[in-house]
Structure formats: C-alpha cells, structure tokens
Structure 1
C-alpha cells in the first residue's frame, strides 16, 4: 500500500461518502483482521467507517525495508495520526511498529507512543528499530553514532520505552553502562533482540531484568554474555559469537527451557563443555546447536558429567554438521539425556555458511565411545536425519539408535538439503555425490540392512524422504 496515497485520500475525505450497510461491530471485526495500513485504506471509503479507525485495538505498521527507506516519514505521520485520534477507552491489544532512526521521524513516533502509554491501556507493544545504513556496511564510527542517536531517542521518550514488551535493535555500539540502563528503562520488556549490537570488542554483557522472557543475540563482540538475574527467562539464543571462551554464563535463570547456539567458526582448538555451560540450566527442555558446516565446537562428555544438567532435555536439534564428520559422537546426548524424545541431525556442507577463513582441516572429527554396550533408552520416540547416506557409518548409527531406543516409533531419513542460492553462486565448487537410496528396491534393501541385526522386531517405521530445497531468508537489514 502507498502511504502517500493514503495521506491524499485522508485530506480529501469530505468528498468521499460511500454508504456501507453493515453494523459497526461487524465492520470492526473485519478491519481488525487486516494490517493497519489496509484497515486505513478500507475505512476512508466512507464517513461512517472512518470512525472505526478510532476503535482499532490492534495497530501493526510493519513494511519491507526497501519501502520503509522511501516513506519512513509517512509511517511516522500515520502512526501519530492513529494514536492521537483513537478512542482512549478502548485498550490496544497489540501495537507493533517498524521504523528507521532518521531525522525526526523516530521522535514523532516515540512521542505519540509515549502519550498513548500514559493515557491508554496497551497490552503488547513492540518496536523494531532500523538504522539508516546497512549492517554489513557499518563502520565503527557508524555503530557509535547510531548508538548515540538511539540513546537520545530513549532519553527523549522514556514513557514509550517504559511500556514496550518487545524490542528489536541493530547496528549499535554502546558504552559500558548503556545496555543495563536501557533494561532499567524498559521495565515491561519481555523480548529483546540484538543484531550487531555490543559495548565494544571483548566487552561483557551482564543482563538483569525481572520480566524478560526471550533474549536473542546475533553477532556483537561480547567476550561473554552473563545471564545474571532473569527469573522469567525461558528462551535464549546466541548466534555468531567472536571469541573462544564460553559464550554464555548462566546465573539465576530458573525458567530457562530453550537454548540455541549457532556458530560457523571458532579460531581455536578449545571446545564448549555443556556440563559447564549449563551448570545452572538443568531445566533445559529444547537445545538447538547450529555448526554452520564448520568446526564441531561441542565436546562429547560422559553421562556422569552431563546427567545433572540434561535430565529434563526433550528435544535436540543438531544443524549443519560438516559432511565428512562421523555423526557417532552425537550419541552422547542420547546416553546423558534419559527424557529425550526427539533427536534431529542435519548433515550439510552449506556453502552459504562456510567462512572464507575456514579450511576443512579445521573441522573436527570427534571420537566417542558409549559407556556401556547394552545401554537402553526408554523415551526416544523419533530420530530424524537430513543428509543421510547409504554407507556403513550412517546405517551403523541408525541401527545403534534403534537398538538403544526400545520405544522408538519413527526413523525419518532424508536426502541432503539443496540450497538454491548455493547452487547458483557456488556452481564451480564440486559437490559431493549423494548415495541416498532412490528406488523402492534400494530403500527396502537398506531398511532390511538396518533392522537385520536387531534382536527383537522393532516397531519403528523407517521413512525415506526426498531432498529439501532451501531458500535462504531475505534479511531485512538495510
């Protein structure tokens, strides 16, 4: 939708009067299901429906970055108009705004939201704040400038930030005390996302907040992120840290149940020990580790060390393991997590993820031996492998899991993923041929090979799936 056209239509409203023969509550129900900009376009067709704009309980203005670059000022004007003219006795269930730190646009949005925070009830409020320069083009000076600009913004509109429940920030390099001060100001905050935000190289981020439920950090030159006091935190993810030491230190996080870590390259032989990482995270139920087709940076550990921290683990997803790495090491999760219900492994040399600094020699082929030959697991119900090959390494692995997991029901074996971007950009790079079974006869033969050594008849269904075509998401980063 063209917001300039909306502005013209609003100015010419007196010339528009198309009668609509529907009750207000029905019309309001219809427009509430639309995006806010579509709701505006709908309501301006009649004087009767224009009043519906003052009754909206959901205000969502989120448009693509390219369009936002062009009409960021119009977004600010429309936001201000809606919030100034709506009926204050009607609570706002959901306020979600995406805008750029540019000129006075963000201040206009902030002031109108601050007024609404003081005069109206707002259940959920979210800012997604972009900068006027692309993340991958930002210099150190740019990061410092944008952070200064943001600090002035939050200082000018503390009531707006005080009522936020979700905040997305990018391309900001703060001073040492700035992020703690932001968290103090955003006292209602439940979800915080940082992209390329930090307090300088090798800075330590200590996070304390009484209400934060979700924290997501991508890039940023923190040496460590300390989750110091977060009594309600449930979900944490940290992607692409830059230093060799443990990326996280868990303090008081009694509700943390989902943890995601992703990294393509760690320039050291050091590995992360989960027994140390999760020393205060024994309630973790879901763990996602993405190796970005690079080095395996997790150290397999024995059951004795891991059992105290993995006792509640239900789901493990190990993504983008390098293709030449034997996946037998992943069995240490099965042995150490008695409540595990689902294990998903994706083996893939995804070229989009491989750092130019990496060499295949730096990818670690980890060795691990089970602590007991007759180990049994009673809760695993599903094993999924993407990038499965018809070789002894994979077939032995699946057989081993089916022997150990006495109640397993589904074994889902997929061909390797195919990335359309990789296929075009890296067409000159030789791709390892797949030995995935193609015909029904090959699949049946492989199934019998896997189950042939099982002492008892397994109730598990072995499923063969075709390759999954993957298109990299378009990052909404200027």
Structure 2
C-alpha cells in the first residue's frame, strides 16, 4: 500500500514537471548538483524524482549527508540504512565523496548494514571525510547503569563487525555508553584517521581515568560522564578541547598537546575544589581562546599572580567567562587581563540560570571571589572589545567598566547587554524572587550612564565606545 502511494506520488510529480516543460531538465548538471548538495541527501533524492535528467544525479553527489532529528530517526532508521547502501553501491568509483555524514540509532542490524556499506565504499571509492553520529534509543535522562552498559556492548559489536568503516572515519560522536577499561583505547586505535571525537554521557565506569593518545585527533569534546579525570597523554595535532565534568577532582591533565589553541571548560557542580590555571596549563603555552562556564554557581578558578601566569598566557587572545552568578563581584576577572597582555576580547556573562542545576539548594551555595590588584597603575595595550551580558546599572558593573577602560588604553568597544531570561527557570522556580532589571531603556538613561562611566576617566577621548545592545 505504501509503495503504491509512493509510485502514484512520483507519477504526479512527473506529470506536473511535463506540464511545466520540465524546466529543471534544462539546467546543466553541475548547477543541479550544486543545488542538491545544499540539501540533506534524503531531500535531494526526493527532488530527483521529478526530472529524468535528475534521476541520474544521486550517483554523482560529492556530499552524502543524512542527519534526521531523533523523532524522524525512530521511524526511518532502517530507511537511512537502505538509502546509504543503494547510493554507495551505485556510485562511480571515479567521483570523490568529499563528505559522508550519517546519523543512526544504535540498532544492531541497521548499524551493521551501514557499516558494511561504508566500509566497502572506503575500500573501492575515494572518500575524503566520513562521520558517524550514533544515538541511543533512550536519552540520558532515562538511561540507567544497565542501559549504559548494554549500549556500550552493542557499539563494541558494531565496531568489531565493521572495522573497515571505522578505520576510515574522520569524526565520531557517541552518547550514553559505559565502556570497559580497554574499549576506548580500542576505539582510538581502530579509528586511525579520526580527527574529531565527541563523547556525551560516556565513560569507562564511575571514577574511571581516561588516558587519550592519538596521532591525528584535532578536536576532542567530552561532556559529562563519570570520569575521575581525563589525561591527554599524547595528541600532537589537537587544537580544540571541550570538557564538562561532574566529579570533585582535578578534571583535566594536559600532557603533550603542542597545538592546543581553544580550551573550553564547564563545571556545574558546587564543590570546595578550586583550580589554578598555572597548574592546568603548566605544559601548554599555546591557548588563544579560553571559555570557562561556571553554571551560575561557584567560581572554581583562583586568581593568581600575573608573574606566574604570564608565560603561560602569552598566546591568549579571546576570553569568555560564562554563567557567573548575578551577584558575583566581577572585579576578580582583572587578574586574567593582568596576566594575559595580548588579550583582544573579553566577554563576561552573568546569569542565574537555575534550571541547569540539580537543586535550588545547590544553587544557594554560590560563593564570591576576592581579588586585589597586584600591578599599580596597570595598563593593557591590546584589549579592544569588552562585552558584558547581564549588565545592571549598579556599583559592581559601573566600577568594573571604569577600571577596565582605564587600564585598556586602546579599547574600541564596550557592548552592554541586559540579563538573559529563561522561561524554564521561571516555571521551575516561581517562588524565587528576581530583582527587577536596572538595565537602561531610554536614550536619556543610556546617555546618563555613559557620562557616569566616563566622567572620571582621564584618558578616554570619547564615550562613543560604550554601546547598549539590548
């Protein structure tokens, strides 16, 4: 019945194309391919049924991308496996596949089918980049320990059945897997061409330690999971590291990572543990982009002496401090400017984003950080942009902006935004009182604040650098 409907639909589309003169057939093939490759491959295949000329184009596509949302994938996972097999098996070996990207549910038969098809294509065709995104039938909120172990066992069977496919992968994204001790090293040794690896809610057991070594990995993203810590032993090409950790431990050990330029760290748990950048970056002096997410909770970095930090932050250009609690005194962030003399942009976001925390009790344990300037009459010659989300017209912000503008003698722009609003937070915590925003609304209020900020500044030539963006 379904097949008949598909055939009738195809005939209707072909008739409509005939009535309109089949204008698509008049376009050159290279232009049609350019159009089709901007679509998800399933949409491109559907488009090809309206024209005889286009029906030959699927075998000529240089990009094969099938990434459905999870609800669609529930219904069409086997369809995806079937399409991948047909498209790859009918291609000319002379046409390079620049990119193959597939999202799949972790169901043994479908995964095995895709793995065999992709492995054969890697052996017989030219394939520049191949990506697998494997999602589990249960999301992380509904997964129990037994589910994590079962899903890991299924994935291990998948990689064992299709080593040819995994040996050529350039990107792998996994979720909700609890591996055995040797499983992750096995994945890394099998995926020899891997350049990007993403783990979400994956680990090798509670309090496990992950040692990572890989010759070609450029990007590593580990979000949540129950690792005690992650040690990057030898990653000579790693450029981007993202880590969100849960346990009250030293989260990350940076070993041989000579090209690491972007480091993103997130901790949303309240603990007594504070980290020191000088220890974290002891072996790394190449970070140019630093992102720290505090989850609207405790400030878990300790201000340090600029003389200690300066040698490690010589390449730092962009700093993003996200989800600071709204009542936090942001003066402590000046220690980064004192130590990192080449920073060009500093972005600070204050936001009491409560729904991201496990409980309101946790949320109430926020602590502040005290800091005293260590460099008299400190000047910063490279900071050009200061961005603040959650700006309020109180002493905390006004004094901070004056201090930064006095120090940053070449600053070009100060962008101030109102606090962010999360409807989920409002619904979950209706009893929590929220102080009314004092962000300026009218032109008069904004001009008054500009004047208050700049009136005590001797070096500033124009208040025009201050912009109210919200």
Whether the TM-score (by the shorter chain) exceeds 0.5 is yes
Q: Greater shift after overlay, 351-360 or 383-392?
A: 351-360
Residue 436 of structure 1 deviates from its aligned partner by 1.5
Quote the offset at 1:211 in angstroms.
0.5
2:296/2:363 contact within 8 Å kept: no
Q: Which has the higher contact order (CA 8 A, sep 6+)?
A: 1
Q: TM-score, normalised by structure 1?
A: 0.92
Measured at CA, do residues 79 and 304 of structure 1 come closer, stay the same or move farther in structure 2, by a change above 3 Å? same
Q: How far off is 1:456 after superposition?
A: 2.3
RMSD between aligned residues: 2.0
Q: What displacement does 1:434 show?
A: 1.3
Listed one character per residue, the Cα deviations across residues 332-351 of structure 1 (whole Å, up to 9, x for unaligned) are: 11100000001110011012
Residue aligning to 2:336: 333
In 2: Cα distance, 1:183 partner to 1:9 partner: 45
> Pick from 224, 227, 231: which aligns with 2:232?
227
- Alignment-derived partner of residue 117 in structure 1: 122
- Residue pairs, 1:228-247, within 5 angstroms: 228-239=233-244, 241-247=245-251
Matches within 5 A, 1:426-437: 426-437=429-440
Map 1:96-135 to 2 at 5 A: 96-135=101-140
The answer on 1:193 being equivalent to 2:202 is: no
TM-score by length of 2: 0.94
Describe the superposition over 1:41-77 as per-residue Cα deviations: whole angstroms up to 9, x where unpaired: 1222344322111111110011110110112111111
Q: 2:277 aligns with which of 274, 277, 288?
A: 274
Flag the 1:189–1:454 CA change in 2: closer, same or farther, 3 A.
same
Which segment drifts farther, 168-177 or 412-421? 412-421
The alignment partner of 1:92 has SS state of: coil
* Deviation at residue 7 of structure 1 after TM alignment: 10
Question: Which moves more between the two structures, 81-90 or 418-427?
Answer: 418-427
Q: Within 5 A, what are the aligned runs for 1:54-93?
A: 54-93=59-98
Query: Is the 2:207–2:226 Cα contact (8 Å) retained in structure 1?
Result: yes
Matched residue, 1:263:
267
How far residue 394 of structure 1 moved from its aligned partner, in angstroms, is 1.1
Contact 2:332 2:369 in 1 (8 A): yes
Q: Is the 8 A contact 2:108 2:154 kept in 1?
A: no
The answer for unaligned runs of 5 or more in structure 2 is: none
Which SS does the other structure have where 2:282 is aligned? coil
Whether the 8 Å contact between 2:351 and 2:419 is mirrored in structure 1 is yes
Within 2, Cα distance between the matches of 1:21 and 1:208?
A: 53
Which has the larger displacement, 114-123 or 442-451? 442-451
Partner Cα distance (2:441, 2:5) in 1: 58
Distance change in 2, residues 1:285/1:102 (3 Å): same
For 1:28 and 1:394, how far apart are their aligned partners in 2? 53
1:348-378 CA distances to partner (integer Å, 9 max, x unpaired)? 1012223316445521210001112201100
The reply on whether 1:33 has 2:35 as its aligned counterpart is no
Q: Decide whether the 8 Å contact of 2:108 with 2:158 is kept in 1.
A: no
Aligned pair count reads: 460
Q: Cα offset for 1:421?
A: 2.8
CA 24–440 in structure 1, closer or farther in 2 if over 3 Å, else same: closer
